């Protein structure tokens, strides 16, 4: 299974250059002869392709291509190209044409069929049977479905789940095909197609730079988030960060890496064919959002007691025996986000809304025995929700109070004498798509903790008004993170690095995302651990010392002894610049804290972490091959002790006490670093 990059154009030089680039990292490329100028020198392209196997395609209009000259001219064009590229080539034959009689029988054929956008929902099993009748040993069959929606794309992937020949290429094109194109590789498609950047040959195609080559696509576990709409979801950033952390930690520990995993946005309008579409073991787990939570519960083989009581699920995970289990983490995520911001666990909860998003929160509040009030635009809908929860066995549902959104003294009625009140806004009102404020008649006070489940925009009109009134506000992305952490624990059996995920989520939402600055003595691992952290976060890494040397054209070991004041001034100026660069990891020089202006800047920066080691550890790590310049005329051991005594109070001030103990094994230090990132949120 591999990625085939499709090329076309009018320039021999450009196409030859691209083939040379692909030959360094790819195994297969396609030349779209129907979109390549006949004057292009095919022999020159053959000479440039290196070890690439070439698929020669000349696609007629009936199959979505540009060829209009008929079968005889098509055959001549194909045979001309085969002469240049044989024997390491295949030819793509559309359904209305035949295998050229003059073609070397050793050249494999790809029997190709594309579904028209005007007539989707063709029986693809019948098409597969028809193509198989033309297939010789060594040939391939290619079936490309049309997909306006993801459900239509899954028809092609069903073929892959039913066949293990290695000779089938099946995927989809169209607006709803993008995710299925990648999944096809993991499910056994002999290849899938990508394009050169900005030059798609079919709708939904990935660009070549987005799909790095893998040794084995079939070892990829598939995950995603279902919903409609779904483009706003930030779940992929969270899960992919957690998966990268697994790989990096395993590498540090020199352990066998877990199976690689991928997580995608999946726009599903319905789940009625879930069991058929997601039968393959490669499908591992899916988060579920609006409007599919009730359907998710219905398609599962079993469900957690809470999901059964709620009547909806927001997570589907495959068990070891292959069955699907439905889980419900919405309510736990909402309450965890409020508790993290200081709401006492005894405080009553006022829930705004009575739809699917509200049910999970209401059930979790009742399950924990907390006082619950529900305010809704339609109070009858709130009563019906509570009655249904009561019938499902949730104690306290009949005691919950129901209110109109504009009810007078709403806070007092729900508080029941409590000084604190948690408010959870669980309606779509306030989102980018539906701007507004569901509680315009209510006035907040400092005893309110207000969570809005919406996270696009990050601060809704409701939260802005609550913040101005002195209430504690909790943005929706904190609930998203909290419920994802619970899903990850259920699925992987371990905790995800919450701090790393939070940093990535804030950056993805366009919130303030200052760099993470690592400070500490020499040999504390700032560069080593910084690079690992940047890999997990998928952020750039910058070594401040290396950047100074690059910009000024001087090695620090020469510069610092000769001009210490000039060096420290340049170092402080660089820090001022880097401290404003968003979403990156920076390893700072050990002596930067001795510059007063730099120390003041670091002390006021929200994301500085200090790496702490003992003097004996620094001495052991530096050994005899250390190239760092001496800072005193004393022996190294004495110099290190003196610097530790002088600088550690400065490091303490710079990192505001946010220390990471980096004694011992690298893997242990990095794990502690990931855990401590939560201090930065």
The chain-wide mean pLDDT, for the chain, equals 94
**Domain-embedded: residue 489:** no
Q: How many residues does the chain have?
A: 681
Residue 177 forms part of a structural domain: yes
On whether both 309 and 339 belong to a single domain, the answer is no
Average pLDDT on 401-427 reads: 94
Residue with tokens 């925009």: 457
Helix (H/G/I), strand (E/B), else coil: 102: coil
pLDDT above 70 for 626: no
Give the model confidence (pLDDT) of 158-192 as tens digits.
Answer: 999 999 888 999 999 999 999 999 999 999 999 99
Measure the CA–CA gap between 219 and 459, rounded to whole angstroms: 40
> Where does a domain end: 327, 342, 375?
327
Same domain for 439 and 531? no
Question: Residue 146: which CATH number?
Answer: 3.20.20.70
Confidence of residue 578 (pLDDT cuts 50, 70, 90): very high
Do residue 320 and residue 210 come from a single domain? no
Residue 623 has pLDDT above 90, yes or no: no
Residue 492 lies in a domain: no
Q: What is the CATH number of the domain that holds 270?
A: 3.40.50.10860
Q: How many domains does the chain have?
A: 4
In a domain, 215, yes or no: yes
Same domain, 469 and 520: no
Q: Which of 20, 142, 215, 293 is catalytic?
A: 293
Q: Tell whether 125 and 233 lie within a shared domain.
A: no
* DSSP per position, 475-491: -HHHHHHHHHHHHHHHH
Q: At residue 631, does pLDDT exceed 60? A: yes
Residue in 399, 357, 8, 561 with CA at minimum distance from that of residue 18: 8
User: Cβ neighbours of residue 324 under 8 Å, at least 6 residues apart?
Assistant: 274, 275, 278, 299, 300, 301, 302, 316, 317, 318
pLDDT at 1: 78
Answer for the pair 196, 7: CB distance below 8 angstroms, yes or no: yes
Do residue 343 and residue 294 come from a single domain?
Answer: no
pLDDT band at 356 (very low <50, low <70, confident <90, very high): confident
Q: What is the CATH number of the domain that holds 654?
A: 3.40.50.300
Supply the DSSP string of 420-475, one letter for each residue.
-EEEEE-SSTTSSSS---S-TT----TTEEEEES--SSSS-HHHHHHHHTT-EEE-
> In this predicted model, which residue has the larger pLDDT, 215 or 152?
152
**Element at 83 (helix H, strand E):** helix 71-85
Write down the pLDDT at residue 678.
86
Task: Report whether pLDDT(57) > 70.
Answer: yes
Nearby residues of 175 by Cβ (< 8 Å), 6 or more positions away: 147, 148, 149, 203, 204
Question: Looking up tokens 């230090």, which residue turns up?
Answer: 669
**Contact in structure between 19 and 54 (CB atoms under 8 Å):** no
Q: Which residue from 524, 545, 496 is spatially nearest to 669, judged by alpha carbons? A: 524
- Domain termination residue (choose one: 163, 186, 219): 219
Rg (CA), the chain: 30
Give the Å distances, CA to CA, from 423 to 254, 480, 643. 47, 16, 52
The share of the chain scoring above pLDDT 70, in percent, equals 99
User: Is 321 contained in some domain?
Assistant: yes
Rounded to whole angstroms, how far apart are CA atoms 62 and 207? 24
What is the reported pLDDT for 526?
Answer: 95
Residues 532 and 670 in one domain: yes
Q: What are phi and psi of 73, to 5 degrees?
A: -65, -35
DSSP state, 520? Answer: -
Asked if the structure places residue 85 within a domain, the reply is: yes
In angstroms, rounded to a whole number, what is the distance separating the alpha carbons of residues 322 and 342? 40
Tell me: do 65 and 205 sit in the same domain: yes
Task: Count CA atoms within 13 Å of residue 612 on its CB side.
Answer: 17
pLDDT (mean) for 268-293:
94
> pLDDT at position 625, please?
57
DSSP 219-279: G-EEEEEEESS-TT--HHHHHHHHHHHHHHHHHHHT-PPPPPEEEEEEE-S--TTHHHHT-
Owning domain of residue 48: 2-219
pLDDT digits (tens, 9 = 90+) for 646-671: 999 999 999 999 999 999 888 999 99
- pLDDT for residue 627 is more than 80: no
- Is 494 among the domain residues? no
Q: What is the pLDDT of residue 371?
A: 95
- Among 219, 242, 260, give the residue marking a domain's end: 219
The DSSP line for 164-210 is --S-EEEEEESTT-HHHHHHHHHTT-SEEEEEBTTB-SSTTPEEGGG
Asked if 322 and 335 sit in the same domain, the reply is: no
Tokens describing residue 460: 């809704």
pLDDT value for 391 = 95
Q: Is 293 one of the catalytic residues?
A: yes
Three-class secondary structure assignment of 271-333: CCCHHHHCCCCCEEEEEECCCCHHHHHHHCCEECHHHHHHCCCCEEEECCCCCEEEECCHHHH
Q: Are residues 172 and 45 in the same domain?
A: yes
Same domain, 423 and 470: yes
User: pLDDT tens digits, residue range 542-574?
Assistant: 999 999 999 999 999 899 989 999 999 999 999
Element (H, E) at 557: helix 556-562
Residues 156, 241 within the same domain: no
Residue 676's φ and ψ, nearest 5 degrees, are -75, -10
- pLDDT attached to residue 137: 93
pLDDT per residue over 516-540, tens digit each? 999 999 889 999 999 999 999 999 9
Answer yes or no: is 508 within a domain: no
> Which H or E element spans position 600?
helix 596-603
Token pair listed for 466: 């609550």
């Amino acid at each position: 299974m591999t990625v085939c990059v499709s090329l076309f154009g009018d320039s021999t030089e450009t196409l030859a250059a691209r083939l040379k680039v692909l030959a360094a990292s790819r195994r297969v490329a396609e030349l779209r002869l129907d979109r390549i100028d006949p004057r292009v020198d095919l022999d020159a392209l053959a000479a440039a392709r290196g070890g690439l196997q070439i698929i020669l395609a000349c696609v007629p209009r009936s199959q979505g291509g540009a060829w209009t000259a008929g079968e005889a001219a098509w055959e001549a064009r194909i045979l001309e190209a085969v002469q240049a590229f044989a024997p390491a080539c295949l030819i793509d034959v559309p359904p209305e044409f035949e295998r050229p009689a003059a073609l070397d029988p050793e050249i494999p054929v790809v029997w190709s069929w594309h579904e028209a956008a005007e007539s989707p929902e063709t029986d693809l099993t019948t098409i597969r049977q028809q193509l198989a009748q033309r297939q010789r040993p060594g040939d391939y069959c290619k079936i490309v479905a049309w997909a306006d929606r993801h459900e239509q794309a899954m028809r092609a992937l069903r073929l892959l789940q039913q066949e293990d020949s290695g000779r089938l290429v099946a995927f989809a094109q169209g607006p709803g095909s993008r995710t299925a194109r990648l999944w096809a590789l993991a499910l056994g498609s002999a290849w899938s197609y990508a394009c050169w950047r900005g030059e798609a040959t079919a709708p939904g195609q990935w660009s070549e730079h987005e799909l790095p080559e893998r040794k084995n696509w079939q070892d990829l576990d598939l995950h995603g988030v279902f919903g409609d709409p779904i483009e706003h979801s930030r779940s992929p950033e969270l899960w992919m960060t957690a998966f990268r952390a697994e790989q990096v930690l395993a590498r540090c520990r020199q352990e066998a890496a877990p199976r690689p995993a991928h997580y995608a946005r999946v726009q599903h309008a319905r789940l009625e064919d879930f069991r058929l579409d997601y039968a393959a073991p490669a499908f591992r787990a899916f988060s579920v959002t609006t409007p599919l939570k009730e359907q998710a519960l219905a398609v599962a083989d079993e469900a957690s007691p809470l999901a059964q009581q709620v009547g909806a699920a927001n997570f589907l995970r495959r068990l070891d025996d292959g069955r699907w289990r439905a889980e419900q983490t919405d309510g736990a995520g909402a309450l965890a986000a409020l508790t993290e911001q200081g709401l006492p666990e005894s405080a009553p909860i006022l829930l705004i809304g009575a739809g699917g998003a509200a049910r999970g929160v209401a059930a979790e509040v009742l399950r924990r025995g907390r006082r619950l009030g529900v305010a809704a635009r339609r109070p009858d809908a709130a009563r019906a929700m509570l009655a249904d929860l009561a019938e499902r066995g949730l104690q306290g549902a009949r005691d919950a109070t129901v209110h109109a959104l504009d009810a007078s003294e709403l806070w007092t009625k729900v508080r029941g004498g409590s000084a604190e009140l948690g408010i959870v806004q669980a309606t779509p009102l306030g989102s980018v798509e539906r701007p507004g404020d569901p509680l315009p008649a209510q006035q907040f006070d400092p005893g309110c903790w207000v969570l809005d489940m919406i996270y696009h925009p990050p601060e809704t009109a409701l939260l802005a008004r609550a913040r101005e009134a002195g209430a504690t506000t909790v943005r929706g992305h904190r609930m998203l993170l909290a419920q994802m952490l619970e899903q990850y624990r259920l699925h992987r059996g371990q905790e995800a690095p919450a701090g790393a995920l939070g940093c990535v989520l804030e950056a993805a939402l366009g919130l303030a995302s200052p760099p993470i600055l690592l400070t500490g003595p020499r040999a504390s691992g700032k560069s080593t651990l910084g690079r690992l952290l940047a890999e997990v976060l998928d952020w750039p890494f910058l070594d401040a010392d290396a950047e100074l040397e690059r910009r000024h054209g001087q090695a620090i070991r020469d510069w610092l002894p000769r001009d210490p004041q000039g060096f420290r001034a340049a170092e402080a100026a660089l820090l001022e610049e880097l401290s404003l660069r968003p979403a990156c990891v920076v390893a700072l020089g050990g002596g930067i804290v001795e510059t007063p202006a730099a120390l003041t800047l670091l002390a006021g920066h929200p994301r500085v972490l200090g790496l702490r080691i003992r003097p004996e550890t620094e001495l052991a790590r530096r050994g005899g091959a250390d190239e760092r310049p001496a800072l005193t005329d004393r022996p190294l051991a004495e110099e290190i002790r003196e610097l530790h005594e002088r600088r550690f109070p400065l490091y303490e001030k710079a990192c505001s006490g946010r220390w990471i103990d980096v004694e011992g094994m690298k893997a242990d230090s990095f794990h502690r670093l990931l855990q401590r990132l939560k201090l930065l949120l």
